[in-house]
Homo-oligomer: A and B are copies of this chain.
């Protein structure tokens, strides 16, 4: 019997979840829920209905885990607690500062519904968090570094697109190689924002736009660019479509720490991701944690969980015997 999954929200992430379900034989897509008119939403899985988000309650007994694919700014703070009353849920809530509040809200709602809610699942928060935790527990005397990229930041790309005269834009966050090298060498450098990442922008200007003015507005933009070394490249719409249509991302979590009676030995733990598709990878993590939510639920557990609370074995479709024999 498969784990019956619903997708709530059908953007890049929802499409990624749909694809990931096909790669996991013990999961099955039951329905996609959308706030748009369902007739206008075309999905890739034959025979699976697109249902209005307003009718989600009708699926209460037809879905084992709902994977919520909304945005963290305004969608998830409302959707996840609401849906956790009806379903086991997974989300990728990624506003780090608000995670404790979100956890508390989902915990109350999930317990009320007798369901499990796993929040902040993906790669950061998610796999990067796990690696920060494991590395901190092992090397208690150490320093953490997180680098992002090379990858597309959608928030920064959007910020450029709002500048007058810009037709399209793509912004890549890129770790600074010298900083990475120093960290990997165990030098434990103190790094400013500027020393850790650079920002590389590709911009399609509208006809007749003042490129110098656009470039100046970008590099001086507070919060987004002014604290970084930013490079602006003007390209054509064709070049944008040809070279920058993907959503690659990735990054590294490194902990450098000392052991020994006198801290005489240094150790570097490094976890890195190179992702051709940020949303599809995130979706794969969500589906693995959907399996864990289902297992918790089968055990009668309810309430909010994070990646820190899930025994790794719960993520696997394989039996305990198999993972001990083949992966330990």
B259 touches A284 (CB 8 A): yes
Interface residue A127 (Cβ < 8 Å from any Cβ of B): yes
Q: How many residues of A contact B (CB 8 A)?
A: 70
Nearest residue (CB) in B for A140 is: B23
Interface residue A159 (Cβ < 8 Å from any Cβ of B): no
Partner of A324, one of B273, B283, B306, B323: B306
A315 touches B267 (CB 8 A): no
Partner of A133, one of B138, B280, B327: B327
Interface residue A222 (Cβ < 8 Å from any Cβ of B): no
Interface residue A132 (Cβ < 8 Å from any Cβ of B): yes
Interface residue A129 (Cβ < 8 Å from any Cβ of B): yes
* Complex Cα–Cα for A125 and B100 (A): 34
A91 to chain B, nearest CB (A): 13
Interface residue A167 (Cβ < 8 Å from any Cβ of B): no
B288 touches A138 (CB 8 A): yes
- Given A265-B277, A270-B271, A312-B134, also A324-B23 (CB < 8 A): no
Main SS class of interface, A: helix
A252-286 toward B: CB 8 Å interface, digit per residue (1/0)?
00000001110001111111111111001101110
B259 touches A315 (CB 8 A): no
Interface residue A212 (Cβ < 8 Å from any Cβ of B): no
A328 to chain B, nearest CB (A): 5
* Complex Cα–Cα for A269 and B271 (A): 8
A181 to chain B, nearest CB (A): 13
**A259 contacts which chain B residues (CB < 8 A)?**
16, 19-20, 23, 276-277, 280-281, 283-284
B138 touches A285 (CB 8 A): yes
B281 touches A274 (CB 8 A): no
A267 touches B275 (CB 8 A): yes
* Complex Cα–Cα for A271 and B277 (A): 19
A65 to chain B, nearest CB (A): 15
A24 touches B120 (CB 8 A): no
Partner of A328, one of B20, B44, B129, B321: B129
- Given A130-B134, A267-B274, also A308-B323 (CB < 8 A): yes
B100 touches A325 (CB 8 A): yes
Contacting B at CB under 8 A, from A117-158, are: 120, 125, 127, 129-134, 136-141
A274 to chain B, nearest CB (A): 4
**A267 contacts which chain B residues (CB < 8 A)?**
273-277, 281
Chain A interface (Cβ within 8 Å of chain B)?
Answer: 16, 18-20, 22-24, 44, 96, 99-100, 103, 120, 125, 127, 129-134, 136-141, 184, 246, 259-261, 265-277, 280-281, 283-285, 288, 291, 306-313, 315-317, 320-321, 323-325, 327-328
Which 7 A-B residue pairings sit nearest by Cβ, starting from the closest?
A: A265-B276, A137-B315, A265-B277, A308-B313, A259-B280, A268-B274, A137-B288
